């Protein structure tokens, strides 16, 4: 019932053990590299230069994460399966209390790993040249520094006035100052850095296009410059990412990325349209009578009336 009292000297590792460990590590690495490649498939289409960068980072993080997760769970699983006490064995295991070398190693290895991950993330961040509320568009003539192929080969950026993005409870509205167009659909020319001014008229909202991997809170009281680089034509979902009250979930929109020609065409067409009332889901739901889910009849902030725009898309319109 009692175990030996003299602590055993730790055995030095045999060649066999080392070989086995190395083999296991290689297998773990191979599987993790494979998982890291799969990670790209879990993401929406890469519709911006930023998306390409973020996905590379995510693939890298997934690889390292899988390596650690697999390694540790395999060790645990092995213990659980093969290191069980016999039914009536109540003796103790080996009194191993620590091993300074091992402990120092597993402090310094994660530290090194963390520095590596942070540095790589920093580089990615730097390349994205994300514009936050504290920076201004004019500060980014370093655009040429953007190493993504798309960016480097681009013609000079035409000077366009930023598109104003107005968001309120609960509608998105886009204003093109040069043409004086209002739209509920955001149109952007492909392969050109989009420049937006984000303006909230009431509470916090979040500008979020998953296919672009960009997101920025829109803070009432400040106008926020924001930029990114669409690189793939298509229709994409815009979502409100910062909880904004009752109809938050319905506060969605569509972003259209298209060629320069069709963009110009769209601007011209829209400018020729008179202002009409857009479709607005929050307002529709609020005013709609009839079949309602379980309701406590609680009062809510009233949705703003549907925006009046030159160009409206239905909220049921398709997107990728």
Partner 1 sequence: MSNASLDAIAAKSDQPFPGAPNNWRRFFSFSTDHKVIGIQYMVTAFVFFLIGGLLAMVMRGELITPEADLVDRTVYNALFTMHGTIMLFMWTFPMLNGLSNYLVPLMIGARDMAFPRLNAAAFWLVPVFGTLLMASFFVPGGPSQSGWWAYPPVSLQNPTGNLINGQVLWLLAVALSGVSSIMGAVNFVTTIFRMRAPGMGWFRMPAFCWTVLSAQMIQLFGLPSLTAGAVMLLLDLTAGTSFFDPAKGGDPVLYQHFFWFYSHPAVYVIILPIFGTFSEVFPVYARKPLFGYRFVVVSSVIITVLSAMVWVHHMFASGTPSWMRMLFMFSTMLISVPTGVKVFAWVATVWGGKLRLDTPMLFALGGLVCFLFAGITGVMLGAVPFDIHVNNTYFVVGHFHYVIYGATVMGIYAAIYHWFPKMTGHMYYEGLGKLHFALTFIGVNLNFFPMHPLGLMGMPRRVSSYDPEFAYWNVIASLGGFLLGVSTLPFILNIVSSWVLGKRAPANPWNAIGLEWLIPSPPPVENFEEIPIVVSGPYGYGSNESLVSNNPAGELISEHS
| CB-based contacts of 19, cutoff 8 Å, min separation 6 | none
**Which residue in the set 204, 233, 304, 317 belongs to the binding site for partner 1 (CB under 8 A)?**
204
- Please name which of 23, 50, 55, 52 lies closest in space to residue 39, comparing C-alpha atoms: 55
**Which residue in the set 20, 222, 265, 314 belongs to the binding site for partner 1 (CB under 8 A)?**
222
Look up residue 82 and give its DSSP letter: H
Residue 94 interacts with partner 1 (CB under 8 A): yes or no = yes
Our CB check for partner 1 shows the closer of 5 and 14 to be 5
Tokens 């509205």 correspond to 173
Tokens 């990728």 correspond to 320
| CB-based contacts of 113, cutoff 8 Å, min separation 6 | 64
| Chain residues 99-138 in contact with partner 1, contact rule CB under 8 A | 99, 102-103, 106-107, 110-111, 114, 117-118, 121-122, 124-125, 128, 130, 132-135
Q: Which stretch binds partner 1 (CB under 8 A): 145-153, 158-166, 175-183, 216-224?
A: 216-224
H or E, element range at 49: helix 49-82
SS3 assignment, position 218 = strand
Our CB check for partner 1 shows the closer of 26 and 77 to be 77
Residue 210 interacts with partner 1 (CB under 8 A): yes or no = yes
In this structure, are residues 237 and 147 in contact, taking their beta carbons and an 8 Å threshold? no
**CA–CA separation, 168 vs 274, rounded Å?**
22
| Chain residues 183-202 in contact with partner 1, contact rule CB under 8 A | 202
Residue 237 interacts with partner 1 (CB under 8 A): yes or no = yes
Least separation, in Å, of the C-beta of 30 and partner 1? 19
Q: Which stretch binds partner 1 (CB under 8 A): 13-21, 94-102, 159-167, 260-268?
A: 94-102
**Which residue in the set 91, 142, 153, 180 belongs to the binding site for partner 1 (CB under 8 A)?**
91
- Please name which of 220, 201, 174 lies closest in space to residue 304, comparing C-alpha atoms: 201
H or E, element range at 167: strand 163-168
**Which residue in the set 63, 191, 216, 280 belongs to the binding site for partner 1 (CB under 8 A)?**
216
Least separation, in Å, of the C-beta of 317 and partner 1? 12
| Chain residues 45-74 in contact with partner 1, contact rule CB under 8 A | 50, 53-54, 57-58, 61-62, 65, 68-69, 72-73
In this structure, are residues 193 and 261 in contact, taking their beta carbons and an 8 Å threshold? no
H or E, element range at 183: strand 181-183
**Which residue in the set 35, 44, 223, 279 belongs to the binding site for partner 1 (CB under 8 A)?**
44
| Chain residues 245-304 in contact with partner 1, contact rule CB under 8 A | 245-250, 252, 285, 292-296, 298-302
């Amino acid at each position: 019932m009692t175990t030996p009292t003299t602590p055993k000297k730790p055995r030095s590792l045999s060649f066999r053990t080392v070989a086995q460990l190395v083999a296991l590590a290689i297998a773990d690495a191979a599987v993790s590299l494979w998982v890291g490649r799969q990670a790209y498939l879990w993401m929406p289409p890469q519709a911006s230069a930023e998306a390409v960068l973020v996905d590379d980072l995510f693939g890298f993080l997934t690889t390292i994460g899988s390596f650690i997760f697999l390694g540790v769970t395999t060790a645990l699983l092995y213990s659980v399966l093969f290191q069980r006490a016999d039914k009536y064995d109540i003796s103790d295991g080996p009194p191993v209390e620590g091993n300074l070398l091992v402990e120092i190693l597993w402090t310094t290895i994660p530290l090194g790993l963390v520095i590596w991950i942070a540095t790589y993330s920093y580089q990615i961040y730097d390349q994205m040249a994300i514009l936050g509320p504290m920076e201004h568009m004019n500060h980014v003539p370093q655009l040429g520094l953007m190493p993504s192929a798309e960016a480097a080969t681009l013609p000079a950026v035409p000077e366009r006035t930023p598109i104003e993005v107005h968001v309120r409870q609960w509608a998105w509205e886009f204003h093109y100052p040069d043409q004086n167009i209002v739209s509920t659909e955001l149109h952007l020319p492909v392969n050109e850095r989009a420049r937006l001014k984000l303006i909230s008229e009431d509470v916090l909202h979040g500008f979020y296009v998953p296919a672009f991997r960009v997101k920025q809170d829109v803070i009432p009281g400040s106008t926020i410059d924001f930029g990114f680089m669409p690189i793939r034509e298509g229709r994409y979902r815009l979502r409100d990412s910062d909880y904004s009250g009752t109809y938050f979930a319905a506060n969605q929109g569509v972003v259209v990325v298209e060629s320069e020609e069709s963009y110009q065409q769209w601007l011209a067409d829209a400018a020729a349209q008179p202002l009409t009332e857009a479709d607005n889901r929050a307002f529709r739901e609020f005013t709609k009578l009839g079949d309602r889910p379980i309701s406590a009849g609680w009062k809510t902030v009233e949705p703003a009336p549907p925006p009046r725009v030159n160009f409206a898309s239905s909220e049921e319109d398709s997107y990728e």
